[in-house]
Every structure is written in C-alpha cells, then in structure tokens.
Amino acid sequence: MMENLALGAMWFGTWTDERTSFEILDRFVDAGGVWIDTSNSYAFWVHESGFGGQSETVLGRWLASRPGVRDRVRLSTKVGAEPAETGPWPETAEGLSAAVVKKAIEGSFGRLGTDRVELYWAHMPDRSTPLEETVGAFDDLVEAGTVARVGCSNYPVWQLERSRQLSRTGGFTAVQQLHTYLRPRPGIRPSGLRFGALSDEVLHYLEHHPDVALWAYTPLLSGGYTRADKPLAEGYDHPGTTRRLAALDEVVAETGTNRNRVVLGWLSGGHPAATPIVGVSSVEQLAEAIAGVSLALTASQRERLDAAM
C-alpha cells in the first residue's frame, strides 16, 4: 500500500527544518515509502526571498547524505508556478514555455542532485503559451530519458485530453488536484485555482482512462478533520458536510480509528484509486498517514461514505 502514498515535501526547508525533514524522510523510506512530491516553487510564499527551491534543496542534501537511497525512491516535482520575478502572483508565475521547462528541469536537477525524475508536472495552466509548445517540451524530456512520465496539476479536462492527442510520448498520464472526502459548495475554489479541485467530470474521465493516475493534494484539509484549531474553510459550511461527517464518524467508530485514517483509506482504496499527497511535520503524523492508506474499508462502509450527500 505504500506506493499509494506520496510524501508531500512542500514545507521542507521552510516551516519544517532540515533535521526534522531528514528524520521524516528516513522513516518514510524505512516504512517502504516510494513517492516524494515537491516542486521548484516550494515554498516561495513563505520564504523571505520570495522565490522557491527550498524543498528541492533539502531533498537533494538528504539524497546526497544517504548513498543508494535515490534508487529506492521516486521523485515527483513540478514546473510552472515559480515566480519569475517578485510581484503579484500568479501574474509573475514562470509559465510553461519550452525555454522555461528546459531551464526549470535543469534547476531542479541541480537542487535535487539527480539527473532524472520519475514524474514531472505542469503545475498550473499557462494561458500565454500554446499547449502544443508545452507538450513538445515535455516530450523532449521524456525522449531524452531524464523524465519518466509527465502529469498536469490544476488543469481542465479538455487540456488534459488535448495534451494526449498532441503528444509524441503519451502526454499527461497523471492528474493532481485537490481531492478529499468533503465537498465544497458549488462555485467555491478551495484551492484558490479555477480548476484546482477535483470535479465529477475529471472523475468520469479517469474512470474511462485507467492509464491516467489520480493524485490528491490537501487530502486532510490541513487538519480540518481532526484539529479544533484548524476549522474547516467557510466553503465547506453547508448541510452536505454535516451529512458526510456523520457518515465518516460512523465508520470511524466501526474501525476504531479516526477521521484522517478513514479519509486516507477512502481515497487510496477508491475507484479510481487516488494517491494522497500528505505533508507531515513529524514522524508521528507520518505514522498516522501510513496507517490511513493501509486501512481497508469494507464494501458496506465505502457505500455509506459514498452515498452521503
């Protein structure tokens, strides 16, 4: 089940110090963890420089200090959201031109201390660059053998499908969007991005294209399921949330676990199955995430969770 969990490294090097980051990474690998998810833009919005790269840098130091571990993990990083200059974002985002993609992957390789990544993401759509150009740039990386496969994050379905038609190498074969058990009110953008949250249309596409993997970011709503000091966002304040939380708590009682574990079990064991990206700041939180993706829900429990509206 550990291949169904991605360790989110967003805060490594900023909110999570290097020593703690190394400890989490070591425990993750020791437990059989494989996927580590980062971006060249992490975490520009909290760093004094206004630019990202801190997460990749810490990961690179960890890899360099652990001989042989690079062959045991799969790296997932992104391009497109890093600020090209200081100023209002996303207006300053680097975008996805061929030149940016080529320069960005070289920068990521330098920080990570590697010559390949297993999954490279278009972090967000770039309206100023033709999709043909972006897809061609990704194709070049796949054909060169430096990127195993590519995915898109926060994309509309039509661009996902169009990329696959344009590509020489298969196009985007993974989708990464905000996905969790609770659903926001219609018209709400919980991620802040127009196509950030997983929609029923994306799910329908994935049901008919099993070769496209689903990755879920913010699966635990930043502590909103279990922490009194982390209340759910206002967009989740509606009757459907009350009903889904009631169903969730019913399954929690039956499994003797907690909301976080049931949510992760629901995601990783769903149809289509999702790979939750869990950002943790301690080894205790990591253990909780591992227990969650290892939780096998019964058919009855899953039916009740799905039916609550």
Write the pLDDT tens digit of every residue in 176-203.
Answer: 999 999 999 999 999 999 999 999 999 9
Place of tokens 């920080």: 111
- Tell the CATH topology of 2-233+259-298: TIM Barrel (3.20.20)
Task: Spell out the domain ranges in the chain.
Answer: 2-233+259-298
1 band by pLDDT with thresholds 50, 70 and 90 = low
Asked whether residue 53 carries a pLDDT value surpassing 90, the answer given is yes
Residue 6 has pLDDT above 70, yes or no: yes
Position 3 scores a pLDDT of: 86
Distance between CA atoms of 205 and 186, rounded to whole angstroms? 20
Mean pLDDT computed over every residue of the chain:
97
pLDDT of 61 reads 98
State the average pLDDT over residues 48-74. Answer: 98
Query: Is 70 in contact with 63 (CB distance < 8 Å)?
Result: yes
Span 124-133, mean pLDDT?
97
SS3 per residue for the chain: CHHHCEEECCCECCCECHHHHHHHHHHHHHCCCCEEECCCCCCCCCCCCCCCCHHHHHHHHHHHHCCCHHHHCEEEEEECCCECCCCCCCCCECCCCHHHHHHHHHHHHHHHCCCCECEEEECCCCCCCCHHHHHHHHHHHHHHCCECCEEEECCCHHHHHHHHHHCCCCCEEEEEEECCCCCCCCCCCCCCCCCCECCHHHHHHHHHCCCCEEEEECCCHHHCCCCCCCCCCHHHCCHHHHHHHHHHHHHHHHHCCCHHHHHHHHHHCCCCCEEEEEECCCHHHHHHHHHHHCCCCCHHHHHHHHHCC
How many whole angstroms separate alpha carbon 81 and alpha carbon 10? Answer: 13
Instruction: Identify the pLDDT of residue 163.
Output: 96
Overall average pLDDT of the 1-10 stretch: 91
Q: Please tell me whether the overall predicted TM-score, pTM, comes out greater than 0.95 for this model.
A: yes
pLDDT value, residue 157: 97
Q: Measure the CA–CA gap between 263 and 141, rounded to whole angstroms.
A: 35
119 phi, psi to nearest 5 deg: -150, 125
Q: What's residue 219's pLDDT?
A: 98
Stretch 58-75: mean pLDDT, rounded?
A: 98
pLDDT band per the 50, 70, 90 thresholds, residue 259: very high
